Structures are given as structure tokens and as C-alpha cells.
Chains A and B, each alone.
Chain A
Amino acid sequence: MFFLKEETKVISLHPSYFGPNVREYLINRLNEEEEGRCTGDHFVICVMDMVDIGEGRVLPSNGQAEYTIKYRAIIWKPFRGETVDAIVTSVKPTGIFTLAGPLSVFIARKNIPSDIKWEPNTVPPQYTDHADQVIEKGTSLRLKILGVKPDVAAINAIGTIKEDYLGPL
């Protein structure tokens, strides 16, 4: 699910950047460091705007200035039960690996409808029900997330397509 979240970040700035463009520089820095980051809990999709840059406080001893920035960002936190669209990255006899944006989701064989079978003899190998449903590398899938596990700088998730309205798009 997507959220607009207000967060704070402390950025220390080298004295050489002190000047009329401090603000721009801080914005750049913030965008660079935050956008696309995975905290383990959620993905930061986009920094919207800065609510408050605050006053820079020069640190004693090294002369760097420390800015505490409040900003708003769009984040995505995947939840159990959420339905997402994903792209298949590889198919294996044990299941399907997909990417839903930054999140890698694995669909185990058990969570694939039983009429869609593993077909290793094609090139590339695929899951297919020998009708219109073919799942191979590059296919778009709609899947439901069954479980999410945060890691240090990544999130692992498992999904299912064994429900109505799920499967290849």
C-alpha cells in the first residue's frame, strides 16, 4: 500500500557547500539518498517536498553543518493480502520468481492453480495450462501477497495466483 509519510533526516553538509545554493544542494542530496531506498520495512518511492529544512547547526570540531530536514515522501509498504502486479523474472520447477517493482515475490508451485503445469521442454521453460495462459520470463502477473518478511535492506515476499482474478494479465 502506498502512503504519504512525513519523515525526518539529518544531513551534514561540508562547509564548501555553504552558500546561496544550500537549499538546492540539500534537496539533491535528499533525493539521491532517499529515493529508491528500502528500509527493510518499506520502499521510499519518491520524495514529495520538504516541509522544513530547519537551521543548519555548525558542528564544533569539524565545521560541518547539520540540517535536520522534515520531508514528505511516497512510500510503499507491502502488506499481506495486498494484490499487486508483477513481472516474471524466472520460472523454475519449484515456482515462479517475480518482481513487483522493487519487491521480489516468489510464487510456490502450490500457490499456482493446479491446471497450470510446469512445462520444461519449451524454450524458454514455462508454466502453462496448454490454453491461453502461459507464464514465462517477462509475463505480467497479478498476484496476491501471502507473506512479507523484512530483511536488513530488502524485503522478501511470497505470493499466490491461486485465486480468482489472479494470474497472467
Chain B
Amino acid sequence: MLLRLPSSLHYPITVTSLLKRPGDEVQRDEALFWYVYQTTVTEGDGLGNKVDVKRKFPTRFESTVDGTILNWKISKGDVIDEPVEIVEIDEPCAHEVQYGGLCAECGKDMTEATYNTDITDSMRAPIQMTHDNTALTVSEKEATRVEEDAKRRLLAGRKLSLVVDLDQTIIHATVDPTVGEWMEDKDNPNHEALGDVRAFQLIDDGPGMRGCWYYVKLRPGLESFLQNISEMFELHIYTMGTRAYAQHIASIIDPDRKLFGDRILSRDESGSLTAKNLHRLFPVDTKMVVIIDDRGDVWRWSPNLIKVSPYDFFVGIGDINSSFLPKKQELGPLPEDKPTSAPAEHHVNGSTEMGDVSEVSTLEQLVTMGGGDNPRLLQEQSDAQDETIMHQVEDRPLLQKQKELDAEDDSIETSDSSSMDESPDTARQRHHLLVDNDQELIQLAERLEQVHSQFFDEYDKKRARGLGGRVAALRGEKALSKEKDVDLKLVPDVKDIMPQIKRRILGGVVIVFSGVLPLGTDTQNADISLWAKSFGVTIAHKITMKTTHLVAGRNRTAKVREATRYPRIKIVTTQWLLECLTQWKRLDEGPYLLPVHPDDRGQPISPSSKEMAESSWLSSSDEATGNESWTDTEETTELNEDILKSSGLTEVSPIGYDEDQQAAIHEELKEFLGSDDESESDSEASWAVDRDEVPPTSSPGKKRKRDDDATDEEEASGSDTQTEAGDVPGSRLSQRIKRSYERSTGLKEVATASGTGSAAGTGTGTGTPSNSGTDRDTPEVSFVETEEEAAASRNPDAAYPEDPVEDDDELEREMMAAFEDGGFDSAAEEDIGAENG
């Protein structure tokens, strides 16, 4: 190695003699050459005075390494002004592989440090690259060599590397002992789904939980998936679980160790409990690596990542090995699996959590959490982990959920028997909590195949080109065997190929989010945004002519209103985006279109009076569906009422307007403040909407009236709005007044929907906004139809008439019940009629 002078010498120095000749052996700390340097010292001048004098001092320079001198870069008499290379020494061992502080090749202690040590030898091999051992480190050179070997081998076998996450990607694990009981109990409704759940016990799992049982559900189709994939990829496991956990899982999913071998990296070796780093496994380059994981943030949205939708079999358990990670941003439920009140989750999760490296807050968060060099912090984190596991064992979240479900079933049964007699055994069927219908792996296999073939197409193309040139040059000498001619320079980069594939999918799509991300989130760096961006989506803040899609988490936001003015913009639910991202397809927006409230239909370029009449006709029906979405935030309803009261107080303040004008002004104000309204956090926004919908000044009389003749509501509302439509000539102001009237009818609807919604919400919650919304392609549906549908969809699941848990306002509930019963009966009759003929 080339020896350099340290910067700590007194420059300039003058070399006075070289002590060694090329070919000589040197020991560490042996003198290499003499030099003199000049410095100022304080001396006595013999008279008691102190004088500063410049003096020259001769000194030896000592070698910092052992070895044989190859050649000198300096010579006698040289004056050296700055650190330069002085001599090349051939070391017998470059200490490129070190094990536990020892050089693994020569056995020297690498941690020794003397006065002469510039950098300790242990710094020469800083890279950990084995899966299951942290004591072994290698130098960059060695790492490159090992990796190139591996790459040659993979290319020859036409394989890529695939880093596989365990939890929620290919398996789902829980420690809830309920699972064990259900597996034993043949009568349990979940028994069937639990058929292939495997269990194992981790004994050494820390104090307080001796022998905790883990229940592992493999993602459907896992075995064949791994089998197929392993022909195209060399598989690695990278998990946040402990080593013992990872080993157990590996022996479940790969009993012969043919797929994964020893290539298992757990959190014991990862070095960080919060982030995964591809360089831990592939320190030099990651051209041939693909990752599958259910979380993008832990990988910092690496371009090698294929994000899969999390496998959530044990409902509500989540990832048992990532409890200290930043919370996932839940962005809407999966299609028909669990249509629970997803928007409500937003504000629960809250805050800006994930993002990429560039985002300071996230980075800080990751830094504070990822105390790789802070053993105390690591300990704390794993303690916290233990605690969550213990809680899960004690709290049995699954059991609680099933109980809820059962309770709900019971109440439905009672309501069923009272209304109509369906076949008893279907009614008797207990709903089961766990559903085994995941399809992700099939799609995932396709995507991996796509990446694989694309990669090797590219590689073959490049190689053919390279070969062609050479063949032309060497003429006829093309005996190079295909296998051996693996040129690493021609290897394409997965980091280029995957984004290329992905960008094609949603390229050119410009998205504006509305009601999707909580307040304060950086829309550019939120989880979903980063994910979408990797597919070529452009995220915009404001709606412009360039916008192609408005992704709305809720209905009736200011942006939805604004977007309706641009005919080009498709207003879709979050579902559309998520499906596109998981399926790697640009899906047809049709089924995902958000039913826009007619009131929100902004003035397009040419508003026709007919259209308006129509919309006024339909208003109440759409309000019914719309309201469901606003009131999803069950938890906040009480709070909302408080807010309503307080806001009502201010609104009632005596100004000289009458009700209508006031409402109109209110509306105008709302439109004016629309953009602010938009960025509010979900809960706040929903209050705001509610507040807007319910000007307390204008309702009471109307409400009572509506309640009285709720049974034939269609006519009532029809006449209601029609009369208004009659005296609306089409001017903006009057239109707003009209709208405000409709809002007042909306008040009652709000109460209704919140009642039914809450009843449904405690249970399966079938009637969610996006779902019922997506049923309809267009918002212009006749009222009867809507009512019928709504009633039909609520009918089997929701227990609205009497819900014991509900402790809402008693009176309100009774009124609701009366109303619902009426509507329900008629709907049911129609239903039966439809069925019969």
C-alpha cells in the first residue's frame, strides 16, 4: 500500500536521509527516514530573559504498516510542504477479511492502536456482508470480488436476486392465543380458514413470555409462488423479526432449505430496527436485486422495491415485528374485503410519518429511532417490541373482534326474524372474522416475471451488440461459449428497468389529492405519493388544466367541487390509485368514479337549466349516499355536535340577514375558503363539512315535517326541491339559496346516516361511502333506485333498529328507527317483488 504522510507533521519538512532501500523489510513503528522540521521555541538567553527562537529539529518517521519496501516516492533532500505519498510498501496481508477484531487471513489483532496509529486496521474492512454473522467484515475490494462472483453465477443461471420480506408480505403471524383455540375448536366459524395455519414456539423469547406460541398463516399460493420464483430469482429473506423467528419461518416455508438456504437476515444482524438497507446484503451494487416488501418506507422507497399490498389475514393484528416503526399510513381499505370506515383511520394515524430521505422530519425520526450505534436505544426498542407481543397475548384482539361480530350477527338475526323469514341455516351461519381470499401472490409472480424477462431481454440485447462488434473484429472466431461470456459491464440495472416498466403504467397522470392525506402531510413525500410517483404519476397541489385525476378520499370537498368544472378530470376514489399501484395496470376509472354530489357540480362551461332542474330533483338521494361518507368518523360525532353548537352560536349572532341569505353567504364563504378547508385534517374537515351542511338556523321546522312523512320521503323531498326549483331562474345567488335549502334537508339526513352508520360501523360496516358510491357510475340516479339500493345493502348487515351499544341521543334514535323502518319495509317489499319476478 502507498504510505501517506499524516497531516499532523510540522510542514515544511526536509528529508535528510532514507533508512530503507527497496526490498527491505520493515516492521511497524520502525523508522523509515530522517527529516528536519523548523519550529519556534521559547528559550532563555542566559540573562534571565525568554526569547522566541526558530530552531530545526531532526526526527524519524516511523512506518505504520509491516511489509517490504517497493519503492520510494521521495528522495534525500526533498522539501515537503504538504501530506504526500512517500513510499509504497507491499504488505504480506492487507487485512481484507476480518473476524471479530482479528484479521481472518493472518490472525493479527486489528484493534491494536499505538501512538503511531493513524487509522486502526479494523477500518480497512468496514463492510458486513454475510447474512447471519455480524462479526465478519470485509474490505470493499473483497466485497466487490465476492459480489462479482455471485453476479457471474446468477447471470449464467439467468437469475436475479430477490429480497423477500416475511411479515405481511408472504406470511402473516400473530401470537394471539385465540388462534390456537379456534384451530382446536371445529365448530368455530374460523376453523376452516385456519386449516393451514402453522404454529411454533419460541422459547428464548425474553423474560415474561416463556414459550410464546406464534401462529403463522402463509399467504395463499405461497408454495407454488416460491417454487416458480426461485427459478428466476435467488431468494433472500430480510425480516425485522428475530433470528430465531426467521429461522422458524424459514423452516415452515422452505423445509428443505432449497429456496433460501442460509440467506436469512434478521433484525439481530440488520443493525437497525427501523430501516432495511440493501447495502447490508449487497454492499457494492444492487443492479440485479429486486425487493418485495409490504412497506416502502423502511426501504426509503428504493427503486429496487416492488411494494406489495400487506397481507392482513389475522384482522387487526398488523405486523408483529414492526411495532416501533412509524405507523403505516392507511389509505383506504382493500376492495370488498373489509369495507370499514377507512377515512376515519386517517386522523388516527395522523402526522407526517414517512417519506424519503430528503424529508427532514422523517429522516430525523428515523435517525432518532434507528440508533444503530446506541445499544441502549436498541434495547429499548426491542423491549417495546416484547411488550406489544405480550399485550397481544393478553388482550387477544382477534377474540374481541369475533365477539363483536357475533354480537352483531345476533342482533341481525333478531331483526331478520321479525322482518322476513329467510332460510334459517343461512341466517344461522355465524360470520367469520378471518377470510382466506388473498390473490396478491399471483399478481406478484406476474410482475416479477415481467421484471425478470425485461432484465434479461435488455441484457441479451446489449450482449448481442457487444458480441457482434467483437465477432466482426475477430471474424469467424465466435467460439465463445454462451455461458462463459458473462460481461459484467453489460449488466443492465434493475433500478432503471423497474421504474421504466412502472412509469409506463401511469405516466402522464397528474393527480391532485383531496381528503386523502391528513393535515400537515407533505403531499409530495407522503407514503402514497412516493409510491405513486414511482409509477410516473405527477402529484400536484392545485387543480389545473393539466390535472388528469382527482383522487378523493371523501366526497364533497372543495377540490371535488373545483374538479367538476374541468370535464377532463376524472374524480376517482383512492381505491383506483391503490389498485393501479398494486396491479401494475392502468385500470379503467369507470368503477372507481366518485359519485359527485350534484350541488358540487361546479358551473361547467354551459350550464343548462334542464341540468339544474335535474340535479335539484336528485339532490336528496345523493345526499343520502353522500352523508354516509361524511359521518364515517364515528368517534368524532359527539365532538362534532359540540363544535356545531359552538359554531352555531356564532352563526346565530344577529345580523340583518334572513336565513336564506345567511346560508348563501355561508356557502360563498365556504367556497372562498375552499382550498384551506381542503388541507385540514380529516376529522376537522369533516366537521367543517358537517357544519356547512347544517346551518342550525334553518332547520327545525323542516326537520319535523320531514320526520312526520318520512315513509313517503321521495315525494316529500321531490316536492320540496321542486317547489324551490320552480322559483329558481338560474342565477347564482338563488341557486345557492336553493342549495342551502337542500342542506337543511341534509341535516336530518346527517342524523340518520350517522345513526345507521354507527350501527353498521360497529360491525362489518358494509355501507361505506366509497363502496356504495362505486356501485354507481354516475351520480344522476333516480331517487327510488338509490333508496332501494341503500336499504338493500344495509338490510342484511346493519342492525339499526335497536343497537344496545349505541348510547346516542335517545330521541334522535327513535326518530331514526321510525324513519328507517318505513323506508326499509317498502324497500324490502320491492326487493321481494324484484326477486319474484
Interface residues of A (CB under 8 A from B): 80, 90, 92-95, 97, 106-111, 118, 120-121, 123-125, 137, 146-149, 151, 156-158
Contacts and interface: CB of A to CB of B under 8 A. Distances in A.
A147 B257 contact: no
Interface string B95-131: 0010111111111110100000000000000000110
B135 interface: yes
17 contacts: A80-B107, A92-B136, A93-B149, A94-B97, A95-B136, A108-B97, A108-B104, A111-B104, A120-B153, A121-B153, A123-B256, A124-B261, A124-B262, A125-B261, A147-B109, A156-B99, A158-B105
Contacts of A94: 97, 129-130, 136, 138, 142, 146
B150 A93 contact: yes
B484 to A, nearest CB: 15
A109 to B, nearest CB: 7
Interface of B: 97, 99-109, 111, 129-130, 132-133, 135-136, 138, 142, 146, 149-150, 153, 157, 256-258, 261-262
A157 to B, nearest CB: 7
Nearest to B104: A108
B108 A147 contact: yes
Contacts of A108: 97, 99, 104-105
A164 to B, nearest CB: 19
Contact of A156 (B100, B149, B150, B261): B100
B150 A123 contact: no
Q: Top 3 nearest A-B pairs by Cβ distance?
A: A147-B107, A156-B100, A146-B107
Most buried by B among A94, A97, A118, A148: A94
A95 B97 contact: yes
Contacts of B101: 149, 151, 156
Given A123-B256, A149-B109, A151-B100, 19 more contacts: A80-B107, A93-B149, A94-B97, A94-B136, A94-B142, A95-B97, A97-B133, A107-B104, A111-B105, A118-B149, A121-B157, A123-B258, A124-B257, A146-B106, A147-B106, A149-B100, A149-B102, A149-B111, A158-B102
A80 B108 CA distance: 11
Contacts of A158: 99, 102-105, 107
Nearest to B138: A94
A94 B98 CA distance: 10
Contacts of A107: 104
B160 to A, nearest CB: 15
Nearest to A137: B262
A146 to B, nearest CB: 4
A110 B96 CA distance: 10
Nearest to B137: A94
Given A110-B97, A156-B135, A95 B257 contact: no
Contact of A93 (B108, B111, B146): B146
B583 to A, nearest CB: 34
A107 B150 CA distance: 20
Given A94-B97, A149-B102, A123 B107 contact: no
Nearest to B143: A94
Among the interface residues B100, B132, B136, which one has the most CB atoms of the partner chain A within 10 A?
A: B100
Nearest to B111: A149
Nearest to B149: A93
Q: Which of B99, B111, B157 has the most CB of A within 10 A?
A: B99
Contacts of B109: 147, 149
B756 to A, nearest CB: 59
A120 B156 CA distance: 13
Contacts of B104: 95, 106-108, 110-111, 158
Contacts of A97: 133, 136
Nearest to B258: A123
Contacts of A118: 149
Task: Among A111, A121, A158, find the residue whose CB has the most chain B CB atoms closer than 10 A.
Answer: A158
Interface centre among B105, B107, B129, B258 (most CB of A within 10 A): B107
B94 to A, nearest CB: 10
A123 B260 CA distance: 10
Contacts of A148: 102
B261 A92 contact: no
Contacts of B256: 123
Nearest to A118: B149
Contacts of A110: 97, 104-105
Nearest to B156: A121
A93 to B, nearest CB: 5
A105 B111 CA distance: 18
A106 B136 contact: yes
A124 B254 CA distance: 13
B696 to A, nearest CB: 71
Nearest to A81: B107
A92 B136 CA distance: 11
Nearest to B129: A94
Nearest to A125: B261
A94 B147 CA distance: 10
Contacts of A149: 100-102, 109, 111
A89 to B, nearest CB: 9
B268 to A, nearest CB: 15
Contacts of B100: 106, 149, 151, 156
A97 B100 CA distance: 12
A17 B487 CA distance: 74
A97 B135 CA distance: 11
A106 B137 CA distance: 12
Nearest to A160: B107
A11 to B, nearest CB: 24
Contacts of A80: 107
B742 to A, nearest CB: 70
B19 to A, nearest CB: 30
A151 to B, nearest CB: 7
Contacts of B106: 146-147
A80 B107 CA distance: 9
A137 B138 CA distance: 22
A106 B150 contact: no
A146 B104 CA distance: 8
B95 to A, nearest CB: 11
A124 B157 CA distance: 17
Contacts of B130: 92, 94
Nearest to B130: A92
Contacts of B146: 93-94
Contacts of A146: 106-107
A120 B150 contact: yes
Nearest to A146: B107
A121 to B, nearest CB: 7
B254 to A, nearest CB: 11
A106 B107 CA distance: 10
Contacts of A106: 99-100, 104, 135-136
Contacts of B133: 90, 97
Contacts of A121: 153, 157
A141 to B, nearest CB: 15
A98 to B, nearest CB: 11
A18 B101 CA distance: 46
Contacts of B142: 94
A125 B97 CA distance: 20
A148 B97 CA distance: 15
B557 to A, nearest CB: 56
Contacts of A125: 261-262
B138 to A, nearest CB: 6
Contacts of B157: 121
B247 to A, nearest CB: 12
B232 to A, nearest CB: 15
- Interface centre among A92, A95, A108, by most B CB within 10 Å? A108
A99 to B, nearest CB: 12
A109 B102 CA distance: 15
B153 A90 contact: no
A117 B545 CA distance: 64
B257 A109 contact: no
Contacts of A120: 150, 153
Contacts of A95: 97, 104, 136
Nearest to A80: B107
